[in-house]
Amino acid sequence: MEDTTEPEQEPPKIQQDAATGRIQQLEQQQGLHLKLIKTEWNQLERQWQGQSPFPRLPTPIATWKRVVHADSIALLNSLQRFQAPGYILAELTDAVLEEWTKAARLTVLLHCLDQIEQDIPDPERRTWIQKLNEALRLQHQTNPDNTNLYPNELWTPLKKNHFEGMELLKLCRANIKEKLVKMVLTAQAYYEELMIVAGQQWKEPSSILEYVELLLEAMGSSPELEEALEQKETTGYW
């Protein structure tokens, strides 16, 4: 006679223990991965060329603020050598990221103003943009920490004139600065990968404008990349 007895179900306690064990194993693997990442970053201290001490992990935000202010280029060089730049970028606050990219964002803005100055047909408006362009440069030279990238006397007329039809200039606006912050750092940290996405031959960009142009070209080839950069949140999204 066929045995129709149903097999005994595994007791709930055993099932819970098995699930807990799998979770703990996953956490251990993730913990080991993070430990290796931190170790790899800390080993870059040997190649550090900054004036301030190398920001070994874990590093408090106050230390990151000092490093990006004093050694932004040295920190960028370390980030480009690191295999997981997104880990470092995700650790930083919006304020730190904005400070780190301020000079680069100013460079992009000044480039746009130079283009307007060259192309604008109206002599009166050309004189106006020239004065504001020079004022921004002088302010950055004399007091870089307090350079205002968003003076109303510049942006109100620019908005009225539809930003002269310049998409790059639109990215310099205050209300979407998070996007340009992310673009500047993404372009510099992942330029090797971006060259592959854009289908370019190997050539390291030599200026922030070339980095941004490379990123824009890659965004044209990758809707996923463009969608990621459209996210307003910066902390944790790299």
Structural domain count of the chain = 2
- Helix (H), strand (E) at residue 9: none
Verify that 169 and 183 share a domain, yes or no. Answer: yes
Q: How far is CA 216 from the centre of its chain?
A: 14
Burial class (CB in 10 A: 0-12, 13-18, 19+), 217: middle
DSSP class of 144: G
Task: Check residue 203 and give its pLDDT.
Answer: 85
Task: Check residue 21 and give its pLDDT.
Answer: 46
Least confident of 81-85, 161-165, 198-202: 198-202
Verify that 106 and 200 share a domain, yes or no. Answer: yes
Over range 100-110, report the average pLDDT.
Answer: 98
Q: Is 59 helix (H, G, I), strand (E, B) or coil?
A: coil
User: What confidence tens digit (pLDDT) does each residue in 68-95 have?
Assistant: 999 999 999 999 999 999 999 999 999 9
d(CA 222, CA 12): 47
Residue numbers of the domain that contains 33: 16-47+57-92
d(CA 88, CA 31): 16
Asked, for residue 8, whether it belongs to a domain, the answer is: no
With 90 as the cut, is the pLDDT of residue 60 above it?
yes
Q: Is 178 helix (H, G, I), strand (E, B) or coil?
A: helix
CB atoms within 10 A of CB 191: 20
pTM comes to 0.84
Verify that 102 and 217 share a domain, yes or no. Answer: yes
Per-residue confidence at 230, pLDDT binned at 50, 70, 90?
A: confident
